[in-house]
Amino acid sequence: MDVSTFEISVRKTELSRINQLDQDNIQFGKIYSDHMLQAYHENGEWQNAEILPYGNLSMSPATSFFHYGQAIFEGIKAYRDADGKPVIFRPYENWKRFNRSAERLGLPYVPEELFMDGMRKLVDLDSAWVPSKGQTSLYIRPFMMAVDEFIGIKPTTKFLFMIITCPAGPYYDKPVSIYVDDKYVRAFPGGIGYTKAAGNYGASMYPMTEVRKMGYDQILWMDGVEHKYVQEIGTMNVFFVLGDTVVTPELGDTILEGVTRDSVITLLRDKGIKVEERQLSIDEIVAAHEAGELKEAFGTGTAASISSIADLTYKGKKIELPSVENWTVVPSVLQELNAIRYGKQEDRHNWLYRI
Ligand code: COI
């Protein structure tokens, strides 16, 4: 039964591209599913919500987000459960976060009927695109932007909301090598660091390219005031296992409230492992390493899931983490998270949304 009170029309593709998908070689973001959702917000209301064949957009070069970056996005994943049915992981959390980002960026509220029902319909229609092998998933990318054809600066009046999806495999194939950046910052108090604003990612491209040239995979961002407290790692939340305690930066306006972050904290606490959400300085991490107390370190995010850290380089000194074969925290939490996602273990926190 269609429970939507919001009319979302569906125009199906005449020719599916599903046979272009190589299930054994899925690269993140390389190929997009057959359909996409789009809806416009104009004159104070959402209109023309439609699921249609995936394709290019045609826009005026004066469209406002090209110039001023008023755009946000989300990342969500659908998995196949033990019966082969597609399930979406904690999408309500992303819907709520999307609207927190929207508010800060001056974009309109997206109602549940559009975000959730639209996503459900889209994933249902393209369910053949939810891969089934190994640790694969369908990555769901909702996004919204200001589309006034106007290059003056004024509050925007026309917006476009869309959802596209793409099959995804593992994001990183090995533990990552990290450069601790004490020059560039990702976020600062009063800014937009807690949102999934496109500009947060755009502003990280140059520093990221520079550290890649130096041979590192990602950046460990420090706070924007004192450049001494750890914040996030690349596009992920970051965790350190110090002795028998897992420490992660506390939430605030510079840290993204990650859904994987919250899931990992919940599962760790379920296991009786102590988790502290607090300020953590790079000096404390260096001291813990010198005392032999830095046991494991990892990033969490929708795209990357849980990504182990091999080493951190700070002020020219390389801190090597113990070999991942000897880790205990990351393997056990990743195993449990995957067991829940793929329906192999009871979903005791009700994280799976069935379409
Ligand atoms: C996600 O994990 O969904 C992200 O936002 C990372 C993305 C920029 C690839």
pLDDT confidence of residue 134: 85
Contacts of range 50-53, beta carbons closer than 8 Å, 24 or more positions apart: 50/8, 50/9, 50/10, 50/11, 51/8, 51/9, 51/10, 51/11, 51/118, 51/121, 51/122, 51/125, 52/10, 52/11, 53/11, 53/12, 53/13, 53/14
Residue whose CA is closest, atom 7 of ligand 1? 303
Alpha carbons 120 and 183: distance in angstroms, whole number: 42
Give the closest residue (by CA) to ligand 1 atom 5: 75
Contacts of residue 67, Cβ cutoff 8 Å, sequence gap at least 6: 151
Q: What is the pLDDT of residue 172?
A: 80
Which residues lie closer than 8 Å to 334 by C-beta, 6 or more apart? 305, 306
Nearest to 288 by CA among 314, 266, 306: 314
Query: What Cα–Cα distance (Å) separates residue 322 from each residue in 180, 289, 293?
Result: 18, 10, 10
User: In which residue ranges of the chain is pLDDT below 50?
Assistant: 1-4
| Cβ count near 311 (within 10 Å) | 15
pLDDT in tens, 145-194: 999 999 999 999 999 999 999 999 888 879 999 999 989 999 999 999 99
Q: Is 235 in the pocket of ligand 1 (CB under 6 A)?
A: yes
Ligand 1 centroid distance, CA of 139 (Å) = 10
Task: Check if 302 has its Cβ closer than 6 Å to any atom of ligand 1.
Answer: yes
75 lines ligand 1 (CB under 6 A): yes
Q: How far apart are the first and last CA of the chain?
A: 12
| Contact residues for 189 (Cβ-Cβ < 8 A; gap 6+) | 224, 225, 252, 253, 254
* Among 74, 302, 305, 306, residue to substitute to test ligand 1 (most atoms within 8 Å of Cβ): 302
How far does residue 34's CA lie from ligand 1's centre (Å)?
21
Pocket-testing residue among 93, 235, 298, 307, ligand 1, by greatest number of atoms within 8 A of Cβ: 235
**pLDDT for res 5:** 56
Q: Which is nearest to 238 in space by CA: 290, 279, 197?
A: 279
- pLDDT tens string 246-263: 999 999 999 999 999 999
Atom of ligand 1 nearest to the CA of 29: 9
Cα(178)–Cα(155) distance, rounded to whole angstroms?
A: 40
Distance CA 199, CA 350 (A): 33
In ligand 1, the atom with minimum distance to the C-alpha of 73 is 5
Q: Whose CA is nearest to atom 3 of ligand 1?
A: 75
Domains in the chain (CATH in brackets) are: 3-168 (3.30.470.10), 176-341 (3.20.10.10)
The residue whose CA has the least distance to atom 8 of ligand 1 is 235
- The count of residues in the chain is 355
Q: How far apart are CA 259 and CA 246, in angstroms?
A: 17
